[in-house]
Every structure is written in C-alpha cells, then in structure tokens.
Structure 1
Amino acid sequence: MIQLPRAWVTRRRCLAVLALTLLSTTATFPGASARSENAPLWTGTWEAAPSGTAPELPDASIRNVVHTSVGGVAARIHVSNRLGTAPLQLDAVTVALQRPGPAAGPDALPGSVRAATFGGAASVTVPVGEDRISDPVDFRVPADSNLLVTVHALAGSVPATYHETALQSSFVAQSSHRAADVDGAAYTRTVSHWYYLSGVDVLRPSDAGSVVAFGDSLTDGTGSTPGTNHRWPDRLSQRLSALPESRRPGVLNAGIGGNRLLLDGTGPNALARLDADALSRGGVRTLIVLEGINDLIVAPSRLDPAAYARAYRQIVARAHALGVRVIGATLTPLGGHKLWSPERESVRQEINTLIRGQLFDAVADFDAVVRDPARPVRILPAYDPGDHLHFNDAGMKALADTIDPAFLAGQLRATQPRS
C-alpha cells in the first residue's frame, strides 16, 4: 500500500512573494500498488470535456487546433458524440502538426498529415452518448506543440457535440474533402469551439501518467487571454516541463464553464461526468478537483456544506477504486460579483474548512493564494479581470504556482485506468 505525504509545502504568490502551505492527509486505498507493468503506456496529452451541442456545419471540414502537454511516438484521437441525439458518422479524421509562425493558422507542417483509422477503417459511427478512440497513429507528437485535428461529419449527424469555451481559434473549410490538406487556404472561417473532439493520447516510454484538472470556468480558462494557453492547467504543464521527461505527467483540462458539482448546469454535473472526463483518461494518476462555486451562486443554489462534502467523498472513493489520488482545491473568493452575498460567503468558508480537512489526499489552497489580504472576500486586484470571479493571466499563474511539481511527479504506483 502507498503512504501519501503528510505535508506538501509550496509557495504562495501575492504580487511579489507570499507563503502557502498545502495540507495533505495520510491515505491508502485499494489498487494503489496494483498497476500492471505490462499495461500500454498511453498518456493523455490534451483534453476538452464535451460541454454542449451546436448545429452541425454541413459539408464542412473542421480543423481543431489543440495544444499538447507531453509528447510521444504515436497518437490516439478521441472523438465524441457524448451529447448528441443521433449517431455521429465521421468519414475523415486526420492529425498534423500546425505549421509554426508568428500568425500560425490552418496550414499543416509539410509531411506531418496522418489519417486516423477506427478498427482499420477511415470512417467511424459513434453511437449516441459515447466516444470512440482511434487506432494508434504513427505520428511523433512533440510536447508543448499545436496539433491540427481535422474532422468531417456526414450530413445528418446533428447536433454536434462540442466544447464551447475553447479560447482558441480553429478553422473551417466548406468542403468535405479538405481533411488531408497541407495548405490551409480552403479554411476561410474561424470558430472558437472544439467540435467532435474530446482528447488526444500519446504513447510514451514514461510511466509518469497524467494529471486531470477537473472543474468549471475557473479551470476552463475564462478570464485568461485567448490563444495564449494561459489557463491554470496550461501554466501547470509549463511548470512541469522543468521535470525530467521520464517524470513529467501529461496535464488534461476537464474544465467546463458553468459546470456544477451537485446539479447539471453547462454539461452534466461533476459526479455524472467523472468517469468519462477524468477517471477513464489515459494514464491518469492524479485528479485535481475545483468544483462547487456554481452550485453556490447559480439558481437553484445549494447552501448545505454537508452536500458538498458528500459529493467530494464520492469523487475520492471512485478515484481511489482506480488507484487515482485526489487533490481538493478550495473555492476562491467572489466578493464584488453580482451574485455574492454574506450568506453565500459564509457557506463558501464552511466548504473550504471541509476541503482543508480530511476529505482529500492533499489540498491546493487556491483561496489563500488569490484572496486580497485587505479584503479576504475578494480576489486580489492584480488577479481580477474585472468580473470579481474569474482570473486573468497573472491569476491563472498564481493558481498553477500553488501546486508542487515534485508531488505530481511522485513515484506513486497506481492501477492503470481503463482507456
């Protein structure tokens, strides 16, 4: 059995330098030392949790731009019809490296375009409510790079499962025969969503696995600068790049703007989507949970801290059953936001007391890092994009800096989750 660390100390940043202690509890759990050494070393390098549906783009090829965390010698593509109401029929899926440049667009790096197959076929039908994972694609994926994952859905595959808040421009060509294009000239339209795509895995010689950041708009990146990969999970991945490759985990962003812990909101509630968006991801070793603020402030609001604690315990129990450790993040301030009230602030403080207790394997005290010492119910002005709820680029970096890379790179032996 694995004994997790009792104390996890990191830095707190407040404009210059602050001090923060991340608390952790002692935890052992079934499966924590039962990982098969023969399991394929597939690791998630990128994820977008399905958040809703949009009208199909008829006879269009959609070139999704995604940013990897870790690299590998082969790739697998996850396509999704999770929220659709009819079978999704894809007749072309390709992956390529985006051609680099100061204004990188839909052009692929010459020689990098590869077709993905599903059971050996170029086309795939994805049933309602499900995802499909491609066969391995012989494609060397660099870390910290942009991929172009292009999909074409046959007419009638409506509505389209998508991730709404991409904070990244992707490209559309009004033709069904452009998935294999190197030259992006046909891709004349831009969109700010990711269509039909829920993840990319890479095959690595490393057993470092992946970390899933599981949350709402704070994790999804709202408030950060579009097109810069400055969401806090991206910032965390940048910090982890200092680790040796053999110890660097992939970082997956399973945030959905408007998502809720206890009730459905934007996308299914956290408990309903936990398996699909977190525990089934390739090589997952650690789950970071930042969920609950929308239950607190969005009608119908939930003001019973015990209900939050029960939900968190369910998440931890389900993760532990697969050998995944769980870090709980405290709920951050929202004083000054139109939905703030003294009653909700009191409940937030009670929930944070529970999170700092014995619920999780470790605690990331985001609240302590970003609150204004002069007005603790508010975010520091330097981190506030103006809505008093989300975080700008500096705030996102402060959240990422809360987490100690050495903890995430620990030699915890865990059961390989299904993939």
Structure 2
Amino acid sequence: MTGTRRRCFVVLALTVLSAAPPYPDAVGRAETAPRWTGTWEAAASGTAPALPGTSIRNVVHTSVGGSATRIRLSNRLGTAPLRLDTVTVALQRAHDPAGPEAVPGSLRTATFAGATSVTVPPGEDRVTDPVRLAVPADADLLVTVHTSADCGPATYHRTSLQPTFLARNGNRAADPGAAAYTDRVSHWYYVTGVDVLRPAAPDSVVALGDSLTDGNGSSYGTNRRWPDLLSRRLSALPAGRRPGVLNAGISGNRLLREGVGPSALSRLDADVLSRTGVRTLIVLEGVNDLKGTPPQTDPGAFVRAYRRIVARAHAHGIRVIGATLTPFGGHSAWTPARERLRHAINALIRGEVFDAVADFDAAVRDPARPDRIRPAYDSGDHLHFGDAGMAALAGTVDSAVLGR
C-alpha cells in the first residue's frame, strides 16, 4: 500500500469502527475483559452423502489461542434436520505424520445449552457452549462429530488439504485413541468455525475468496494456504495485537454467480458478517467469473459487486482490503480478451473501491511475461500457487494495518 493510501485508510477505518462495535456483545464491556475471537473457519461449499453411524474426526488448525473454545456446526446446505449425537474437541497429539489421536487429558465433550446432543434445522448453524480447554495458537484441534441416523445431505467443505479421520463402527467421538479411526477423507464435515476466549486484542481477519484462498496448489497437510502464512507472519506482533485469521475460501467460487458454493455476494452474511469479532475483510474474488461459464465480461459488474460488499461490511464496522486479480496466462481458460478485462478490473480495484489494496497481481506476476505467474510461484497449472507463491501473497498484506 502506498503511504498516501495508508493514511487515508487509517482515517476511514477509524471513522467506520467508531460508528459500530466490532461485534454485538462488545457494547458496554471493559476493554480488558476476555472476549471471543474467531481462530478458524471453513466455508460451507456444498454437500456430500451423509455418513450415518460414523464418527467423523476433523482436524482444524488454529490461528490464535485462548483459554476456552466453542465450535460452530452447520446444516446450512442440508435438506433435513441434522441430529448430532455427540461432539467432542481435543488437541491433536503430534506424530509424524499426525493422526487422529488426542493429547492425553485434552478431550472434552461439547454441549448445547447443557445437552450433549443437538438437532440443527436445515439452513441453520449451532454453536456449542464454551468448552473449557486451553487452546494454543498455531495448534491442531480434533473436532469429532457423530450422527447415528441418515440426516440427508451433509454440509461440508470439499477441499480440506489434510485428512479427516473416520471411525465406522459406532459412536467413537469420545475415544482419545486412534485405533477406531481406520479410514480417511479430505473434506471437513459439519464443522465450519472455531472461536477462542482471549484477553482484549485485535479480533479477526476474514479472507473471502476462491481456490487461490482455499489453498489449491499448496502442499498437502502443511497449512500453507496464504491465510495460514499470513497468520504466521502476524505471530511476530505482540500477543495483544495479533488478530485471528479465518479462511473463507471455496474452490471454484465466483463473485457474481452461484458456482461451487454460494456466490461471494450471497454468502457474505454466513461466512463473514456473522463470524466472531471480524474487524477486517480481505477480498480476492473474480478470476472464476472471468473464466467461468458463462464468463462475466462487464468490469462494471465487478465493481458494483465489490462496492456492495464494502458497504455491507462497513455497516458492521468492518474495513475491507481488496486484492487484485492474479495472472493466469498459460492456463487453458486464458484469452487475450480475458487478460484485458483482468487489467481493467485491477485498475478499478486499485482505485477508490476499497479501504486499502493488497496488490497480489504485482507481487506474483512474471516481469518478463506479466500475463503469467512467476515460474517459481506457479503450482504447475499456471493458475494456482505453490508454497512460494502462497508466501508471496501473504507477504503482500500489510501486517501493521491488521494488527492495529
């Protein structure tokens, strides 16, 4: 960000944040009181067949830690009531490779208004009661759910880039050991958010995006999506200034149309505005609109959508950083016309649409061929980023701004 843009951004951000509290239950609370902050998110991207009689042990990676936790479970895309018989949370025991075993003594059974089971109506989420478990920053949690009956299509996040473990021989959610968990998949089932209770500090940052944010192209099982790497950069800040980082990326997602998962516009409430303690939103959406079927060819449509996102975020006291669209020359969907449109959209993004800009395009384009990703950053398909490219994206976001 330029110095002029940063000064303007700070003035605007202070004005916006003074107009509304960062989240509803902040009103009237002491600034030093512990409060809930989002530490992890997975956006619901679609549905998969239910796994009745199976215990599903999801592995999720925290950004910031806290003295307690609570878990968000979703039936948002389901068509029938979802009966969760048991939900447990534990710290994952470190192995090489890590598996479904809990750190001894860390497994807790979550409750819902004091009950150990809950029924979630279709289209809705439920959040557990606070779970008394000290959760470290940059740690892996095991969130296990069990359903005994077929509750219809299961809301899930398709691309987890790490294993979810399955025990198909009954309710083993409370098993701390690994023996029952003999199968694995690469999706997150039902769990879509984790909050932690922490001392007063910057709240959370949400990255709203498509497969580039979801992590496609990065190394499996290593948490090297660019929001993960951004969180690691933010760990250099004092603990009282480090925000949580939430990844609301969905592979195949589009800004303007339904595609894989609801469009960015239609899922803004569920995946950003309803999340705990959101202070900043980073938007990287639009490449799939350029190259999708049918393609979007009007740059004005992109800007109108971006402005709607910004206006709705500002109404909730959230500042918005716009990320420029990255090159995809060499990919089968690239055309000269789409390249011209990408440049036009990026010029508008660099204008006055957002509170600040993260110029991802400038950070990753090949100086010799600006329509392409630098070879060192390319995962191999000329669209997605390998680990070095993910690090370059993360390094583009101003950590000093996020830690205000």
Residue identity matched to 1:296: L
Runs of 4 or more, structure 1, over 6 Å off, are: none
Alpha-carbon distance between aligned partners in 1 of 2:192 and 2:203, rounded to the nearest angstrom:
18
CA shift for structure 1 position 7: 3.3
Q: 1:30 to 1:365 in 2, by over 3 A?
A: closer
Alpha-carbon distance between aligned partners in 2 of 1:25 and 1:306, rounded to the nearest angstrom:
27
- Runs of 5+ unmatched residues, structure 2: 22-26
Q: Is 23-32 or 181-190 further displaced after alignment?
A: 23-32
CA contact (8 A) 1:54 1:159 kept: yes
Alpha-carbon distance between aligned partners in 2 of 1:43 and 1:197, rounded to the nearest angstrom:
16
CA shift for structure 1 position 315: 0.3
Matched residue, 1:7: 5
Residue identity matched to 2:393: L
Alpha-carbon distance between aligned partners in 2 of 1:385 and 1:90, rounded to the nearest angstrom:
39
CA shift for structure 1 position 215: 0.3
Mapping 1:223-372, distance limit 5 Å: 223-372=217-366
Residue identity matched to 1:393: D
Matched residue, 1:19: none
Q: Is 174-183 or 309-318 further displaced after alignment?
A: 174-183
What is the TM-score with the length of structure 1 in the denominator? Answer: 0.91
CA RMSD of aligned residues (A): 1.6
Structure ranking higher in helix proportion: 2
User: 2:164 pairs with 166, 170, 174, which one?
Assistant: 170
SS of 1:285 mapped into structure 2: strand
Alpha-carbon distance between aligned partners in 2 of 1:98 and 1:322, rounded to the nearest angstrom:
35
Residue identity matched to 1:216: D
Alpha-carbon distance between aligned partners in 2 of 1:154 and 1:342, rounded to the nearest angstrom:
53
Count of equivalent residues: 394
Alpha-carbon distance between aligned partners in 1 of 2:252 and 2:200, rounded to the nearest angstrom:
35
Alpha-carbon distance between aligned partners in 2 of 1:215 and 1:284, rounded to the nearest angstrom:
16
CA shift for structure 1 position 373: 0.4
SS of 2:381 mapped into structure 1: coil
SS of 1:71 mapped into structure 2: coil
CA contact (8 A) 1:25 1:358 kept: no
Matched, 1:160 2:158: no
SS of 1:346 mapped into structure 2: helix
Give deviations 1:274-311, integer Å, cap 9, x for gaps. 01101111110000000011011011110100000000
SS of 2:80 mapped into structure 1: coil
Alpha-carbon distance between aligned partners in 2 of 1:57 and 1:253, rounded to the nearest angstrom:
25
Alpha-carbon distance between aligned partners in 1 of 2:16 and 2:321, rounded to the nearest angstrom:
17
CA shift for structure 1 position 6: 4.0
Matched, 1:147 2:141: yes
- Runs of 5+ unmatched residues, structure 1: 10-22, 411-419
What is the TM-score with the length of structure 2 in the denominator? Answer: 0.95
CA shift for structure 1 position 31: 5.1
Matched residue, 2:43: 49
**Percent identity at matched positions?**
67
Alpha-carbon distance between aligned partners in 2 of 1:213 and 1:279, rounded to the nearest angstrom:
12
Matched, 1:89 2:87: no
CA contact (8 A) 2:113 2:129 kept: yes
CA shift for structure 1 position 26: 5.5
CA shift for structure 1 position 100: 1.1
Alpha-carbon distance between aligned partners in 2 of 1:273 and 1:90, rounded to the nearest angstrom:
24
Matched, 1:27 2:12: yes
Alpha-carbon distance between aligned partners in 2 of 1:30 and 1:402, rounded to the nearest angstrom:
24
Alpha-carbon distance between aligned partners in 2 of 1:127 and 1:85, rounded to the nearest angstrom:
8
Q: 1:124 to 1:24 in 2, by over 3 A?
A: same
CA contact (8 A) 2:20 2:315 kept: no
Residue identity matched to 2:5: A
CA shift for structure 1 position 102: 1.9
Matched residue, 2:102: 108
Alpha-carbon distance between aligned partners in 1 of 2:143 and 2:357, rounded to the nearest angstrom:
35
Give deviations 1:178-227, integer Å, cap 9, x for gaps. 10111111000011000011010001113310000000000000000010
Give deviations 1:6-42, integer Å, cap 9, x for gaps. 4349xxxxxxxxxxxxx95863655535422518621
Alpha-carbon distance between aligned partners in 2 of 1:389 and 1:300, rounded to the nearest angstrom:
19
CA contact (8 A) 1:98 1:109 kept: yes
Alpha-carbon distance between aligned partners in 2 of 1:291 and 1:370, rounded to the nearest angstrom:
16
Give deviations 1:237-258, integer Å, cap 9, x for gaps. 0000111111000000000000
CA shift for structure 1 position 176: 2.9
Q: 1:26 to 1:341 in 2, by over 3 A?
A: farther
Residue identity matched to 2:39: T
SS of 1:136 mapped into structure 2: coil
Matched residue, 2:68: 74
CA contact (8 A) 1:44 1:281 kept: yes
Give deviations 1:311-349, integer Å, cap 9, x for gaps. 000000000001000000000000000000011111110
Matched residue, 1:17: none
CA contact (8 A) 1:31 1:321 kept: no
CA contact (8 A) 1:80 1:131 kept: yes
